[in-house]
Structure 1
Amino acid sequence: MTAQPSIPAGFRQDAQGRLVHENQIKPVDKLRDELVLSLVERARTTSATLAQFKATAFGEIEAFIDLSAQEYGAKRGGKKGNVSLTSFDGRYKIQRAIQESLVFDERLQAARALIDECLQEWTADARPELATLVNDAFRVDTKGEIRTARVLALRRLEIADERWQQAMRAIGEACQVVGSRSYIRVYERVGDTDQYQPISLDIAGV
């Protein structure tokens, strides 16, 4: 780590690293600085509180799932999976959601080549809707990335051609899990309806 330079008494360092005497700083600039530092400190405290809540919630939910499984003599093989828990009166609901990040390796190109072979033959027999579906699945998003959900959706199509089947196997093998993100979502029922509204834990939603 780079050592921070010592700042002489009566001076402050500005954004360009220059030392500025207190007397040369406008009162409004000092007030702005105080406001920003105060809000940042409170934001750090709030962030730490949310992190602690998430860790505690995940731990307690996991412990409850284990306890519930033991009641039926079941052994759990891992911590993966989404879970929904509802209060006894049905007013509140908590969901644990785990979202995996998927990418495709080079085998996706082999799958696309096999699919193209099929399409070149089939489109001669007027199946343009399938070509549109395939081309849309392989179209990249605004970040230049393949949309995994649409590519994987192709595997649900019932097509017996061996080349298509081989392409679907290649897609399955090309799909790799590169990470996951975990979420806790808390909901409250709207009156006596079967609808739930989220209790926001996102600063943009409160």
Structure 2
Amino acid sequence: MSIPEGFRQDAKGHLVPEVLIKPIDLARDELVTELVNKAKAVSGALGAFKASAFGDIKAFVDLSAEQYKATIGGKKGNVTLLSFDGRYKIIHAVQDSIKFDERLQAARVLIDECAAEWTQDARSEVRVLVNEAFRTDKAGEISTGRVLGLRRLDIQDERWQRAMQAISEAVQVVGSKSYIRVYERLGDSDQYAPIPLDIASIYVPDTASPTLH
């Protein structure tokens, strides 16, 4: 709806005459609105940069492949590009999002059988390891990294091997996300520091506290 001149709409949708609004509330509204508009502009610029960077990297990878008359099909990912002097580095990474299907439950049964038998011989650390791997977070999700990490254990028990096969077959790729990471070399070292592209990672030095007179 249109707001009549001289009125402001509050959070509950009520029209309030501006003359009845405290100056501090008007100042707060002005500050918040100003910062939000600036944030939207920055967000839009980051979105434009991301889209442009993805497109430019894809075009360069295709150009590079053409030099060898090679065709690269499918998704492009995990590409690292360095400036000629090695000062800057850009990484385009594609990270798959995975979930487990019902076969994970079969794996858990087999693993529990192994752990129950082994802990009879005082190998209680195995039970702790298994419980930690299948521990859920606040959202009820199981850490895919911890579960998949069980496959690195060199255990030859036939039930364990079947459990590991069930885990491998339970993995379902449900999506993927692409990332752009930009780095700058630290001096003459072989270490690189990320150039932050999200507001939480940007360092802003604290301003000195005003001196009271």
State the TM-score, normalized to the length of structure 1: 0.89
Deviates more, 1:102-111 or 1:131-140: 131-140
| Runs of 5+ consecutive residues of structure 1 not aligned to the other structure | none
Deviates more, 1:98-107 or 1:108-117: 98-107
Deviates more, 1:119-128 or 1:46-55: 119-128
1:62–1:79 CA contact under 8 A, matched in 2: no
Aligned partner of 2:201 in structure 1 is 205
Counterpart CA distance in 2 for 1:175 and 1:55 is 30
Pairing 1:176–2:204 present = no
Task: Pick from 41, 46, 49 the counterpart of residue 50 of structure 1.
Answer: 46
Aligned partner of 2:94 in structure 1 is 98
CA RMSD of aligned residues (A): 1.7
Counterpart CA distance in 1 for 2:81 and 2:6 is 57
- What are the Cα deviations for residues 172-194 of structure 1, in whole angstroms up to 9, with x where unaligned? 12112222222111111111011
Aligned partner of 2:56 in structure 1 is 60
Letter in 1 for 2:80: S
Task: Mark the CA change 1:25 to 1:203 in structure 2 (over 3 Å): closer, same or farther.
Answer: same
Counterpart CA distance in 1 for 2:95 and 2:89 is 19
The structural deviation recorded for 1:80 is: 4.3
Aligned partner of 2:110 in structure 1 is 114
2:58–2:76 CA contact under 8 A, matched in 1: no
Count of equivalent residues: 202
What SS is found at the alignment partner of 1:40? helix
Pairing 1:79–2:75 present = yes
1:150-161 → structure 2 map (5 Å cutoff): 150-161=146-157
| Runs of 5+ consecutive residues of structure 2 not aligned to the other structure | 203-213
Deviates more, 1:150-159 or 1:184-193: 150-159
Counterpart CA distance in 2 for 1:25 and 1:120 is 68
Aligned partner of 2:6 in structure 1 is 10
Counterpart CA distance in 2 for 1:93 and 1:166 is 43
State the TM-score, normalized to the length of structure 2: 0.87
Pairing 1:24–2:24 present = no
What SS is found at the alignment partner of 2:181? strand
Q: Percent identity?
A: 67
Deviates more, 1:154-163 or 1:52-61: 154-163
1:86–1:94 CA contact under 8 A, matched in 2: yes
Pairing 1:192–2:191 present = no
Aligned partner of 2:125 in structure 1 is 129
Pairing 1:41–2:37 present = yes
What SS is found at the alignment partner of 1:9? coil
The structural deviation recorded for 1:69 is: 2.0
2:116–2:127 CA contact under 8 A, matched in 1: no
What SS is found at the alignment partner of 2:2? coil
What SS is found at the alignment partner of 2:4? coil
